[in-house]
Chains A and B, each alone.
Chain A
Amino acid sequence: MPDAAAPLLSVENLKVHFAIRSGVFQRQVGEVKAVDGVSFSIGPGETLGLVGESGCGKSTTGLALMGLVKATDGHIAMQGAEDVTQMRSIPRSYRRRMQIIFQDPFSSLNPRQRVRDIIRAPLDIHGIGATEERRAEVAKLMSLVGLRPDQADNFPHQFSGGQRQRIGIARALALKPDIIVCDEPVSALDVSVQAQILNLLADLQKELGLSYLFISHDLGVVEHVSHRVAVMYLGKIVETGSKEAIFTKPLHPYSELLLRSAPAHDPRQRHKFSAVSDDIPSATRKPAGCAFHTRCPLATDICRQIEPRLERKADGHSVACHHR
């Protein structure tokens, strides 16, 4: 179970800013603050759900943790490892302990590689085991994720979407990581297959004691898989707390809006959705003050001027709002 006292991974004030360049000389004309001061921690065996809508920076956060985009600022520390953002390149010892599963099982696997080689690649790169051991390991990994080891010589296109996602999971597990960043791992899959993958991830967590950073826009999925949840809006975490707190007693008006907008799955309890469009900003034109104030029913002058800080309201439940 999650142990708040000794986090496995802690992220502090992570920032990823991209320059907007334009013109012949590619002069910098602006900046997108895709991730703008995000802090969280994940305990051993814990799943942190990172939820938000497109453009909120949730995927960039995951990529920055993996060193796949460069963090502009911040600290990323893993239990027993140094502060990796302070280094010029991410050390392999750190990379071994954290792996990623991508959203699209079609573009995240090399179509010209056999499944055996795809799953083996991390072992080859890190020089783990002799050739025979690696071969045996691939077979073990394939059965672990519910693939038939005799299909190891096939190419990705010979598999269905769900099976391809299993290949991606097997590859992520090859190095026996502590944490897996799951970046929308089921959003490209059909509903019936989505359930298979979610169940597989849950089984693997139980079996191997994995921690997950589970990035998703789907509230139903996040509620199902997470122990704790962080809600992101335009580069910031606006609320974080236990799953129960976020889903039953949300504090931030944006979390409330998200929950109100999710379809009910019960025709007798239909929402009265308002057809009115609100002013949805983007990361390139972020409003001053609280970024949510353009859509917020509670917004007052202070929200337009001063950005609220993430403050602790109850045990483990924090919110960034002047009015809560």
Chain B
Amino acid sequence: MEPALAVSDLNVEILGENGAFPVVSEMSLSVRPGETVCIVGESGCGKSMTALSLLRLLPDGARVASGSIRIHGEDFLAMDRRKVEDFRGDKIAMIFQEPLSALNPVLTIGEQIAESVRQHRRLGRREAFARAVKCLELVQMPDPERRARQYPHELSGGMRQRAMIALALACEPKIIIADEPTTALDVTVQAQILGLISDLQKRLGTAQILITHDLGVVAEIADRVIVMYAGRRVEECSVYELFENPIHPYTIGLMGAVPHRDRSKAAPERLTDIPGTVPPLWDLPKGCAFAPRCPGASARCLEERPPFIEKKPGHFAACWEHDNA
């Protein structure tokens, strides 16, 4: 099947005081309709910058240096502003982490969804509002008629996130980018929203990219996973393969670092911590960016950056030492 979204060799940089430095390097990914790709990593790994560049919403000072983004085969980076605005919301939409700052505080939920619908469809005010209520029903908002007339601050965190999902889905885009959609929520509400996201995807067949730092969320929702570290992909494979046979020492380290409930194994006394911290993107080490923290790093790892290659069918990683192991 043709991918709904295809990114190839994307490089994003930030213009700093001492020149430009890369925040996303050599990023390639594709998502097919009905597929969920998770991008996982810690703060500063470039996952949110990747998400923003996919909607051409990069903040001032950041820009795409090279690469291509194709949406349904069309070159998204070459489009003029008007066409980009036509695409955004209609073909590709985003769900943000903080609904309270992403929603407009002075418009009711219904007005915001209607506004987005009217931007892309020839509908009257009343019809658009009715459509908004329908969208709120779709995301199982309790009492949608009444909620549509309320302002964001009148809703609970979970309901706000439902409203934002309704807003993203208003024009039935085929591609959804969700940046940490459940991070700000309590665990019981997170479960509901994860349930909602996967229900909706089954019904609508959207292609999804979900950005998260939480491996638990990845295990619940991903089909395929990309692990990022310091602006680069370090591993990519199916979710089953990732949890059963992780290759990259960073992925392995992350899995050992998270205390989680695995009834099949006795709880470890100590967590396996990853020493040190993520290097700043303006001062990356010469070789593999993870080498200074890696338990298996060799002299080569410190000198040369390992290529991101297929280690076994469908399983990609960037690590020198795996080849020797």
Q: Residues of A with Cβ closer than 8 Å to B?
A: 53-54, 160-163, 190-196, 198-199, 202, 217, 219-221, 223-225, 247, 257-268, 270-280, 282
Secondary structure at chain A's binding surface: helix, strand, loop or mixed? helix
Residue from A160, A191, A198, A258 in contact with B213 in the complex, judged by beta carbons closer than 8 Å: A191
Contact B277 A267 (CB under 8 A): no
Could you tell me if B272 and A217 are in contact, using CB atoms closer than 8 angstroms? no
Bound complex: CA A270 to CA B195 (Å):
11
Inter-chain CA distance A247–B267, complex, in Å, is 12
A191-B187 in contact (CB<8A): no
Are B219 and A276 in contact, CB atoms less than 8 angstroms apart? no
Given A223-B259, A273-B191, A276-B192: A263 in contact with B214 (beta carbons within 8 A)? yes
Chain A residues whose C-beta falls within 8 Å of the C-beta of B195 in the assembled complex: 272-276
Scan residues 258-296 of chain B and give those whose CB is less than 8 A from a CB of chain A. Answer: 258-262, 267, 269-275, 277-278, 293
A279 surroundings in chain B (CB, below 8 A) = 142
A198, B187: Cα distance in complex, Å: 21
B259 vs chain A, min Cβ distance (A): 3
> In the complex, which residues of chain A have a beta carbon less than 8 angstroms from the beta carbon of B188?
53, 257-258, 261, 280
Number of A-B contacts (CB under 8 A): 147
Query: What would 6 A/B residue contacts be, using CB atoms closer than 8 Å?
Result: A53-B188, A259-B261, A261-B190, A265-B243, A273-B220, A280-B156
What is the chain A residue whose CB lies nearest that of B197? A275
Q: Is B262 touching A265 in the complex (CB atoms < 8 A)?
A: yes
Specify the chain A residue showing the minimal Cβ separation from B184.
Answer: A54
**Chain B residues bordering chain A, tally (CB within 8 A):** 53
- Give A261 Cβ to nearest chain B Cβ, in Å: 4
List A contacts of B253 (CB < 8 A): 192
**B258 surroundings in chain A (CB, below 8 A):** 191, 194-195, 220, 265
Tell me, rounded to whole Å, the shortest Cβ–Cβ distance linking B135 to chain A: 14
| Complex Cα–Cα for A194 and B162 (A) | 30
CB of B309 within 8 Å of the partner chain = no
Interface string of B213-231 (1 = CB under 8 A from A): 1111101101000000000
Instruction: Indicate if the CB atoms of B273 and A195 lie closer than 8 Å.
Output: yes
Give, as a whole number of angstroms, the nearest-CB distance from A33 to chain B.
Answer: 19
Assess the B192–A264 pair: CB atoms within 8 A: no
Cβ–Cβ < 8 Å partners of A193 in chain B: 273, 277
Q: Are A192 and B214 in contact (CB under 8 A)?
A: no
Interchain CB contact under 8 A, A275 and B217: no
Give the residues in chain A near B240, CB-CB below 8 Å. 267-268
Counting chain B CB atoms within 10 Å of each CB, the highest count among A160, A264, A270, A273 belongs to: A273
The reply to whether B257 and A195 contact each other, CB–CB distance below 8 Å, is: yes
B216 surroundings in chain A (CB, below 8 A):
220, 262-265
- CB within 8 Å for A265 and B261 given contacts A258-B188, A275-B192, A280-B158: yes
